[in-house]
Amino acid sequence: MTSSNSLKVIDIFAGPGGLGEGFAAYEENGKNPFNLSLSIEKDPAAHSTLLMRSFYRQFGADNIPDDYWHYLKGGITRDKLFENFPRQRAMARDEARCIELGKAPHKEVKALISSKLQDSKKWVLVGGPPCQAYSLVGRARMNSNPDFENDERHFLYREYLKILADHRPPVFVMENVKGMLSAQHGGKRIIEPIMNNLRQPGLALTGRRNGLGYNLFSLVDDNENDEIDPTAFLVRAEDYGIPQARHRVLILGIRDDIDITPERLSKNEAPSVLDTISDLPRIRSTLSREADSFTAWKNRLFEVTGSKWYISGRANGLYHTVQKIDQALSILSNGELTPGAETLKYKGKPKVYSKWYRNGCDGVVTSHAGRGHMLSDLHRYLFASSYAMANGKSAQLVDFPATLLPAHRNVQNGVSKDYFGDRFRVQVKDRPSTTITSHISKDGHYFIHYDPSQCRSLTVREAARLQTFPDSYKFEGNRTSQYHQVGNAVPPLLSVQIAEIVYDILKRVRIDG
Eight-class DSSP state of 104: S
User: Does residue 319 sit in the same domain as residue 375?
Assistant: yes
Residues 389, 397: Cα–Cα separation, whole Å: 16
Q: What is the pLDDT of residues 143-171, one digit of tens each?
A: 454 544 454 555 688 999 999 999 999 99
The conformational region for residue 468 under phi > 0 = left, psi -120 to 50 = alpha, else beta, is: left
Give the CA count within 13 Å in the CB-facing half-sphere of 365. Answer: 25
* b/e burial code for range 299-308 (CB count within 10 A of at least 16 → b): ebbeebeeee
User: Does residue 337 sit in the same domain as residue 365?
Assistant: yes
User: Does residue 175 sit in the same domain as residue 206?
Assistant: yes
Query: Per the domain annotation, does 78 fall within a domain?
Result: no
What's the confidence (pLDDT) of residue 409? 57
Residues 103, 94: Cα–Cα separation, whole Å: 20
Mean pLDDT of 417-445: 85
Q: How many domains does the chain have?
A: 2
User: Does residue 203 sit in the same domain as residue 241?
Assistant: yes
User: Does residue 210 sit in the same domain as residue 266?
Assistant: yes
Mean pLDDT rounded to a whole number for the chain? 90
pTM of the entire predicted model: 0.92
Q: Which domain holds residue 430?
A: 273-487
To 5 degrees, how large is the angle CA 407–CA 302–CA 367? Answer: 75
| DSSP element (H, E) containing 414 | helix 411-417
| Sign of the four-CA dihedral 68, 340, 400, 392 | positive
**CB under 8 A, 24+ apart: contacts of 62-65:** 62/360, 64/360, 64/362, 64/472
User: Does residue 168 sit in the same domain as residue 311?
Assistant: no
Residues 12, 41: Cα–Cα separation, whole Å: 7
| DSSP element (H, E) containing 249 | strand 247-255
R_g of the chain computed on alpha carbons: 24
User: Does residue 469 sit in the same domain as residue 337?
Assistant: yes
Query: Per the domain annotation, does 69 fall within a domain?
Result: no
Q: What is the pLDDT of residues 166-207, one digit of tens each?
A: 999 999 999 999 988 888 777 888 889 999 999 999 999 988
More confident of the two residues 142 and 336? 336
**Which residues contact residue 207 at a Cβ distance below 8 angstroms, ignoring those fewer than 6 apart?**
none
Query: Per the domain annotation, does 438 fall within a domain?
Result: yes
User: Does residue 180 sit in the same domain as residue 288?
Assistant: no
User: Does residue 248 sit in the same domain as residue 366?
Assistant: no
Query: Per the domain annotation, does 72 fall within a domain?
Result: no
Q: What is the pLDDT of residues 337-378, one digit of tens each?
A: 999 999 999 989 999 999 999 988 878 899 999 999 998 899
User: Does residue 383 sit in the same domain as residue 369?
Assistant: yes
Query: Per the domain annotation, does 46 fall within a domain?
Result: no
Residues 17, 37: Cα–Cα separation, whole Å: 13
**Which residues contact residue 409 at a Cβ distance below 8 angstroms, ignoring those fewer than 6 apart?**
none
Query: Per the domain annotation, does 174 fall within a domain?
Result: yes
